[in-house]
Structure 1
Amino acid sequence: MTLPRLFAIALLSLCPGLTAQAGGKKGEASGISFHMQGDASDNPKMIFQQFNAGQQMVFRRVPEITTKDIAAFNPFPSQDGQGFGMVIQLKPAAKNRIAAVTNANVNRWLLAMVNGRKVDAVLIDKTVEDGHLVIWKGIGGAEIEAFDKEFPRIGEAKPRH
């Protein structure tokens, strides 16, 4: 193996968040992805480790939902006063997909990442049938501004910028 390739492999293994947004488009101003909890026995190339709920867990690298699945959003101040959360309205195909995925994964975690960093995770307690996902915290004001350029707010026809 060449030295640059070894360096790249070492870098990616030490920083799993760098590959989390690999499915996004080049040049996207903002990226959201939702990753389902995996199993330690899954192919190591298909999972990444993340500290969550007081323990180390594995999540699937391939996201269940990405930025391209979003139809609209609505931000709100996070309960901890540190930034924002948001409600995400999914496009019809993604709505059906998240219903199937959450139905098959009750009592497992769904990890939300924004621009390649973990912002929140929720324990799935029931099937998500309405096509809305919530990120409760961890989103900055600049990220909300970027989302406003890409997506309309829920109930609005077009993006604000």
Structure 2
Amino acid sequence: MNRRLFALTLSATFGFLCVPALAGGKKEDKVTVTFHIEADNNDNPKMIFQAPVGGRQRIFRRLSDFTVRDIQDFAAFQANDGSYGLLITLKGNAATRLAAITATNPDRYLLAMINGRPVDAALIDKQITDGKLVIWKGTNALEIQELDKLVPRSGKGKDKDKDKKQ
């Protein structure tokens, strides 16, 4: 009886140890897109970071408000400085969050980061209700190619493919 209990405990222990090893093989995304709202000077120092915006250092929340998972589709365009910009459409629940965030944070910046690198920031001057965000500059062709693997381009979404099949 004790041997069976020992064997069961041992196999369960090693079985649970293997689960994280299997999850560790998950392929990482090669591009991350995050958006961060400007924070206050009195926020917890561990929860904020500084980034240059408009020639001066500003403080932003470390936790992102939007990520790649919140993006429904995107369109890329050539920026004036030779880099690329992105027009991003958020999914329904993220678009609702965007409306709430922009309504409650006027005159603050929303910082866009790609792969942990600050690329652009926009000053919130009114509530955004259409669920669209624009990164005006700072992305490159390789980042757009990697984003293509994760998110459809505008006009090429899942709903558009269904219409073609019917």
With the length of structure 2 as denominator, give the TM-score of the two structures. 0.77
Greater percentage in helix: 2
> Residues 110-125 of structure 1 correspond to what in structure 2 (within 5 A)?
110-125=110-125
Pick which of 44-53 and 112-121 moved more.
44-53
Match of 1:100, SS?
helix
Deviations 1:73-128 (A, max 9, x none): 000001222x1000001000000000000110111000000010000000011111
Counterpart Cα distance in 2 of 1:152 and 1:49: 32
Structure 2 unmatched runs, 5+: 1-25, 159-166
Counterpart Cα distance in 2 of 1:92 and 1:148: 20
> One-letter code of the match for 1:79?
N
Pick which of 104-113 and 147-156 moved more.
147-156
Counterpart Cα distance in 2 of 1:40 and 1:29: 32
Partner of 1:129: 129
Partner of 1:38: 39
> Residues 14-33 of structure 1 correspond to what in structure 2 (within 5 A)?
27-33=28-34
Structure 1 unmatched runs, 5+: 1-24
With the length of structure 1 as denominator, give the TM-score of the two structures. 0.80
Q: CA RMSD in A?
A: 1.3
Match of 1:122, SS?
strand
Deviations 1:13-56 (A, max 9, x none): xxxxxxxxxxxx97112100000000111000110011211211
List structure 1 runs of 4+ shifted beyond 4 angstroms.
none
Distance 1:26 1:115, change over 3 A: farther
Partner of 1:152: 152
Aligned sequence identity (%):
50
